[in-house]
Structure 1
Amino acid sequence: MQLKHLKTIMQAEDGMAKIAAIAWAPNNVRLAVSTYDRIIHLFDEMGEKKDKFSTKPVDSKYGKKSYVIKGLAFSPDSTKIAVGQTDNIIFVYKIGEVWGEKKVICNKFPQQSAVTCLIWLSEGRIIFGQADGKVRSANHKSNKSQTLYATDSYVVSLASNPRGTGFLSGHEDGTIVRYYVVEDSSMEEQGRVTVHSAPPYALAWPMGHILAAGSDRRVVLYSREGRVVRQFDYSRDDTEKEFTVACCSPSGQAVAVGSFDRLRVFSWSPRKSSWEENQPKEIPNLYTITALSWKRDGSRVTCGALCGAVEMFESVLKRTLWKNKFEMTYVGPSQVLVKPLDPGSRGVILKSHYGYEIDDVRIMGRDNYLVARTSETILLGDLQRNLLSEVLWNSSGRNEKFYFDNPAVCLIFNAGELSLVVYGENDILGSVRTEFMNPHQISVRLNERRLNTAEDNKKLAYLLDLKTICIVDLVYGTTISQVTHDSKIDWLELNETGHKLLFRDKKMRLTLVDILRDQKSSILNFCTFVQWVPGSDVVVAQSRSNLCVWYNIDVPEQVTLFNIKGEIVDVVRADGKTEVHLF
């Protein structure tokens, strides 16, 4: 992981002008900076200043200089900002979705003690520490706050886990406490984890570990159980000062730690299964780093300093181009930012949920889908809908073939096995054995035109052999029906409800199967084109110079014929009407 300086967002002043807090919005398009004069400055993702607003004291009679801002955090939807203050209150400002909207206070959370640190979890709760040692939670929807736990030691830092389901609190006596606000599949034991040798002002919760650092000039990585896993000791380095702040990358595989004139980055190596220190970033005359924030897509790190300077860095492992159409920025071992080069296009964040290193990313399916690999998984993505999936996958020589004809599901063929992966889901929907890889001989229907009273409806039709069709219920993993035929089948398709099946054989005969009634009937000869009309059970087919339409497929003998010139190439339903395209 290398940090490359991009620009100076705010210039340093001649004297002390401490940057109190910095926060990136979850949607990656806003950056908030709190300055010494209690003003919140708003920047776009390129670091251009767009807006600002002043904060307020709990009571105007005490004056505008009666408090200090100690925490700043965006709401999960990026439309609100929580500000924690030393005059015993948290204000939540509504800033809107576009630049220039009026800033209004939508929540007030008065407290009995000064707020010392603050985070806003993706789960929705505002978590804050206080000078009296309490760690509390605030709900902006109910406008109520409550104490989660109390200690006898000043809260110096808070750090969320990468999933946003739990947090760590660091205290003045060195204690580090772990707490979860919602159930988590990978929950660890709650309560006191360990006691650091100094107040852990620099605290982070990277994936599988805890990082703590402070005035003792030691960066320590602890295990889940609180045992020391790795230690970086700079106590004998006269050029190093105390560590003041830390922030974790969105992937949980890197941590930036700030000190005096220096920014250090520690990253996890999946191949070596250990933490390593990268080349530190020396920043002469920056003085003590007082605030740090990592952009949610992993591509930027922003830091603020004692004299008011705010610097933006690019955090990149490597960058590649795909056919001069997409830029792929590896912002961590298991996280890649994939962005089209077209102006105005937004990218997607490809991330391995298992923490495996992504070593190959390809854009496929007319540049609408992506396929990436790790040593143990395959990642799939629909770029148009920003739906990403990661499924466990055994290494098989990378001979898989991917088909993207179905907009809801990806078909993966490998060594005689067909696997189905729904975009946006992290499990394989189903797998079957078949040797026939032609997508025209496979049909998948997933809750299309679903009836209100219907159960989960996911069906697959495929060829067992060239004369046998197998129909599978993917919800229960059971075979519903097998259809045998006297000639080789070259095309098949289920209707949207999965209750009927059409197939055509090499002799150009079209056959209808009623799956629920277990009935099979031949309905057309010399069939050169056939298609279900989208959103209905109407069938359109061509036989020689006739356009054949079944408006009620339950009565297949009732067919409407139209004489046409040319060949049908497509049936399109849009704006309440259906069109048949001829060539």
Structure 2
Amino acid sequence: MVVLLYDEQGERRDKFSTKPLDSKYGKQSYVVNDMAFSPDSTKIAIGQSDNIIFVYRIGEDWGDKKAICNKFVQTSAVTCLLWPAEHAIVYGLVDGKVRLANTQTNKSSTIYGTESCVVSLASNISAKGVLSGHADGTVVRYFFDDEGSGESQGKLLIHPCPPYALAWGANSIMVGGCDKKVVAYGREGHILQTFDYTRDRTEREFTVAATSPSGQSVVFGSYDRLRVFNWAPRRGVWDEAKPKEIVNLYTITSLAWKKDGSRLCAGTLCGGVELFDCCLRRTIYKNKFEMTYVGLSQVIVRNLSTGTRVVLKSYYGYEIEEVKIMGKDRYLVAHTSETLLLGDLLSNKLSEVPWPGSGGNEKFFFENETVCMIFNAGELSLVEYSNNEILGSVRTEFMNPHLISVRINERKQRGVEDNKKLAYLIDIKTIAVVDLAGGFNLGTLSHDSKIDWLELNETGRKLLFRDKKLRVRKKPQHPEGLLERERGRKAERGE
């Protein structure tokens, strides 16, 4: 048995041979039932019919030496497996057990046992939950971490036939089998939708299913045909796209998505491997960037000159509207119905923050490399790249980069872990300084002339500003200094 390795273009680049549990039975004594890449793609787990899982280290470059780094001997044949986390391989056995193999300790343990053969496994988008399908039609759910969802564990539903085609989408579970039906089940196992193909004489049993990385699309494989289902978030239902029919492809036995959702690979009973380019639409932006919409909530942005790519994805599964590239072609901006997505193409730092119903009238300023300044309806909001919460918001009518200064951990200070400061104008003669990390005002500073420029130093401890008379002033930024100066001014006025 030989494993062939191909690159993302479908070109064969490498290969290695597998081995039986016991060499005395020969190389024809077993079959490979399933295999999976590790999360970092440097290892491959091979599940075999002769009661063993071998883990091969394949390296990071083509041609690296292939070596067995783990082996897990079982009591029955391995039917299917997943590799959802760094050191954890989840696999199913003919005897009905679902087990966990730890590649770090080289030990395996049973997660749960049933009386029926495991025919399929599927994980959720975050890879923290697992579904197992069994020959008696039972589907069981298990969570390593339910992420606060409160969803139940254990026996979830009983499908009318063995659920060989099992997929866990973003909003529901989809199951197919030999009855020529695809059924969408809700979070607690109730039927949401049924797609019935029993009257279609050209359709045969569904043998395999795969969920896209975004969870918004599910593909089912049968005989000579791929059926694609897309989640419509606004209507809360699955829509079937036009099926992909390929004559003489024969039964599809395996499906796998590329991690960015741009490609789908299908393996067939006769040994064929088909690679499909997957996208809803593709556009060219400013003749510099290629936008590939691989799903409603995921867009791949590729720089045509450098070839670098960024995957812009809504964590909440919202549909991404038009993507714009601003700030000297460095920063990404995109809206959904409930959130705002921002990204730095240079550092590959992405953010998604709550942003409902703004109407698209915001003004964006990218003068600061660590934070995006957004002005909308008299309010200034700051979003730090790679942070999914708004850093801070203040009311101001003076939206000019020269009248706003933000310092985000620009210089290490002893005893200070998080140093995030903002200076801005409350009115044309009054400066306010805010501690963004602590979420409180450090103080205000009043001046006798109109201020037309201000700047905090790197540590945020000193403030420099200039007035209309072109006089430059330097003030301490410590709250004690600002408050003491304010008290002195009030005393002079007799307040």
Q: What TM-score do the two structures reach when normalised by structure 2? A: 0.95
- How far, CA to CA, are the matches of 2:402 and 2:3 in structure 1? 58
AA paired with 1:131? Answer: V
Q: Which residue of 2 aligns with 1:302?
A: 265
- How far, CA to CA, are the matches of 1:467 and 1:404 in structure 2? 25
Q: Residues 442 and 479 of structure 2 are in contact (CA less than 8 Å); yes or no, is this contact kept in structure 1?
A: no
Q: Which residue of 2 aligns with 1:335?
A: 298
- 1:151-550 equivalence runs, <5 A: 151-186=114-149, 188-343=151-306, 345-516=307-478, 518-519=480-481
Shift of 1:187: 5.0
Shift of 1:185: 3.6
Secondary structure of 2:264 counterpart: strand
- 1:40-79 equivalence runs, <5 A: 40-79=3-42
User: Size of the alignment, in residue pairs?
Assistant: 482
- How far, CA to CA, are the matches of 2:326 and 2:201 in structure 1? 53
- How far, CA to CA, are the matches of 2:22 and 2:457 in structure 1? 66
CA offset digits 1:531-559 (Å, max 9, x no partner):
xxxxxxxxxxxxxxxxxxxxxxxxxxxxx
Secondary structure of 1:61 counterpart: helix
Q: Residues 250 and 297 of structure 1 are in contact (CA less than 8 Å); yes or no, is this contact kept in structure 2?
A: yes
Asked if residue 89 in structure 1 is aligned to residue 52 in structure 2, the reply is: yes
Secondary structure of 2:183 counterpart: strand
Q: Tell me which moved more, 212-221 or 268-277.
A: 268-277
Shift of 1:439: 1.0
AA paired with 2:344? Answer: D
Q: Residues 441 and 490 of structure 1 are in contact (CA less than 8 Å); yes or no, is this contact kept in structure 2?
A: yes
Tell me: CA distance 1:117–1:233, structure 2 relative to 1, closer, same or farther (3 Å): same
- How far, CA to CA, are the matches of 1:406 and 1:459 in structure 2? 13
Q: Residues 252 and 266 of structure 2 are in contact (CA less than 8 Å); yes or no, is this contact kept in structure 1?
A: yes
Name stretches of at least 5 consecutive residues in structure 2 with no aligned partner: 483-495
Q: Which residue of 2 aligns with 1:539?
A: none
CA offset digits 1:500-529 (Å, max 9, x no partner):
211122222222222227447xxxxxxxxx
Q: Residues 123 and 165 of structure 1 are in contact (CA less than 8 Å); yes or no, is this contact kept in structure 2?
A: no
Secondary structure of 2:147 counterpart: coil
CA offset digits 1:148-184 (Å, max 9, x no partner):
1111110000001011111111011111111111352
Q: Residues 76 and 124 of structure 1 are in contact (CA less than 8 Å); yes or no, is this contact kept in structure 2?
A: no
Shift of 1:291: 0.8
Q: Which residue of 2 aligns with 1:99?
A: 62
Q: Residues 443 and 479 of structure 2 are in contact (CA less than 8 Å); yes or no, is this contact kept in structure 1?
A: no
Tell me: CA distance 1:122–1:341, structure 2 relative to 1, closer, same or farther (3 Å): farther
Shift of 1:397: 2.2
- How far, CA to CA, are the matches of 1:333 and 1:446 in structure 2? 33
Q: Residues 448 and 497 of structure 1 are in contact (CA less than 8 Å); yes or no, is this contact kept in structure 2?
A: yes
Tell me: CA distance 1:452–1:81, structure 2 relative to 1, closer, same or farther (3 Å): farther
Query: Which has the bigger relative contact order, CA under 8 A and spacing at least 6?
Result: 1
Q: Residues 214 and 295 of structure 2 are in contact (CA less than 8 Å); yes or no, is this contact kept in structure 1?
A: yes
Q: Residues 377 and 394 of structure 1 are in contact (CA less than 8 Å); yes or no, is this contact kept in structure 2?
A: yes
- How far, CA to CA, are the matches of 2:8 and 2:353 in structure 1? 32
- How far, CA to CA, are the matches of 1:377 and 1:145 in structure 2? 42
Shift of 1:449: 1.7
- How far, CA to CA, are the matches of 1:438 and 1:251 in structure 2? 38
- How far, CA to CA, are the matches of 1:175 and 1:260 in structure 2? 24
Tell me: CA distance 1:369–1:113, structure 2 relative to 1, closer, same or farther (3 Å): same
- How far, CA to CA, are the matches of 2:409 and 2:350 in structure 1? 19
Q: Tell me which moved more, 241-250 or 267-276.
A: 267-276
- How far, CA to CA, are the matches of 1:231 and 1:218 in structure 2? 7
Q: What TM-score do the two structures reach when normalised by structure 1? A: 0.81
- How far, CA to CA, are the matches of 2:255 and 2:479 in structure 1? 65
- How far, CA to CA, are the matches of 2:426 and 2:334 in structure 1? 30
AA paired with 2:448? Answer: D
- How far, CA to CA, are the matches of 2:173 and 2:74 in structure 1? 29
CA offset digits 1:206-263 (Å, max 9, x no partner):
0120001111111000000100000001122211110000000111011000001111
Aligned residues with identical type, % of pairs:
63
Secondary structure of 1:418 counterpart: strand
